[in-house]
A and B are shown apart, each in its own frame.
Chain A
Amino acid sequence: MASKIQVVLRPVKSIVVRFCPFESNVESTRNFLACINHKRIQATNKNCEVTADVRHDGSEPVVDVMFVDGDRLIMKGANLTTVEMLTALGTRCNAKEIKEEQKSKKKSL
């Protein structure tokens, strides 16, 4: 189910996934990391850096997304499912794509 969600990473600069694997609430974050690293999603933007930060300090799992236009999306994965995280990222990426297209149309006009 989670692998069927299409996310276009073009407006994304970098994604940092921070989690502590010995905690019990990291399953959705780890699944999110696995989905993001899928070749179909990676192929949408080869310049997007996906980093996994593995710690052992009991901290909550966090996904930190930096966009090209300076926006930042922080998702705390402790109480979110993988599908929710992917959908949230996907909708924001789509919104930014549409904005970019409209800007480029205005410029060409």
Chain B
Amino acid sequence: MAAMPSAAGLTRALPAGCPPALQLVRRGSKAVTRHWKAMHFQRQKLMAVTEYVAPRPAVPPRCRPPDTGPRPLPREAFRDNRMIAVCQYNAMAGDDVVLLRHYLRRHNIEVKFFLNEIVRPVLAQSKYRNLLPLFVARNLLLVSREAKAKEMLRVLKGVPQVNLLGACIDDTILSRQGVENFAKLPSLEVVQGQAVGALSLLPSQTSSLLQCSSAHLTALLDQHIRRLQEGEGGAPVQPSPEPTGAH
């Protein structure tokens, strides 16, 4: 916007000998004003020519591979964790969600929210295909590296808005009833001890079984010798009983 010559402005007449030109000056405003003042036309041209032009990237952004960023991915969640429980999430107050997260974190169980549109294609191509029907409506994933089903059930019992639908523990898909039964099982160490005890019961009796017959024969012969010695002392010799059990 060029400065328009105003009729109210002062006109300065040039001295004689110069070509006729009117130098019009706007009424008395300074360079720095409180109101908006249009730039001088030459300044406008200079500003237009020296405007900043951003450098174009060498590779256009649409050709670059998509940047996933540090967001948690369902693939990692399924790969790295032993226990993955799927629950239905009904609306809860924010404080309750934080408390739930806190109680579960104490047992190393993490709470993850994934959108169904993201999880379904990941699951469809993995071995967890049979969990697909669970991912409908709003869901919550509880993942953990240890299979702490009992603690998880205890915490969820106090939260009625979260309903356990099913779980995948050690690559085994379990229903809600299955998870409850799994929680009632004794720990692995106890079960291993019971199995070892049951298996070693019979072999522990082998040595006593083998020695049983010879021990019996020895006892009988001892008894016979005692009787003979008693007999020598008083009564005639008794016929010896036949040794039994010696094969």
Interface positions, chain A 13-48, Cβ under 8 Å from B, are: 21-24, 26-27, 30-31, 33-34, 37-39
B175 in the interface (beta carbon within 8 A): yes
A98 in the interface (beta carbon within 8 A): no
**Contact A54–B91 (Cβ < 8 Å):** no
B177 in the interface (beta carbon within 8 A): yes
B213 in the interface (beta carbon within 8 A): no
Cβ contact of A27, chosen from B136, B163, B166, cutoff 8 A: B136
Interface size classification for chain B:
20 to 34
A56 in the interface (beta carbon within 8 A): yes
**Contact A22–B134 (Cβ < 8 Å):** yes
**Contact B88–A34 (Cβ < 8 Å):** yes
Nearest-neighbor residue (CB-CB) of B136 within chain A = A27
B137 in the interface (beta carbon within 8 A): yes
Q: What are the residues of chain B within 8 A of A22 when measuring CB–CB?
A: 130, 133-134, 166, 175
B161 in the interface (beta carbon within 8 A): yes
What is the number of residues of chain A that contact chain B, defined by CB distance less than 8 Å? Answer: 18
**Contact B88–A30 (Cβ < 8 Å):** yes
CB within 8 Å: A-B pair count: 54
**Contact A30–B137 (Cβ < 8 Å):** yes
**Contact B138–A34 (Cβ < 8 Å):** yes
Nearest-neighbor residue (CB-CB) of B88 within chain A = A30
A52 in the interface (beta carbon within 8 A): yes
**Contact A54–B90 (Cβ < 8 Å):** no
| Given known A39-B91, A52-B163, A54-B163, contact A34–B175 (CB-CB < 8 A) | no
Interface positions, chain B 143-176, Cβ under 8 Å from A, are: 160-161, 163-166, 175-176
Cβ contact of A21, chosen from B89, B133, B138, B161, cutoff 8 A: B133
**Contact B166–A21 (Cβ < 8 Å):** yes
Spell out A's residues near B (CB within 8 Å): 21-24, 26-27, 30-31, 33-34, 37-39, 50, 52, 54-56
Spell out B's residues near A (CB within 8 Å): 86, 88-91, 93, 130, 133-134, 136-138, 160-161, 163-166, 175-178
A-B residue pairs in contact (CB < 8 Å), sample of 13: A24-B133, A27-B136, A30-B136, A33-B163, A34-B90, A34-B137, A34-B138, A37-B90, A37-B91, A39-B93, A54-B163, A56-B175, A56-B176
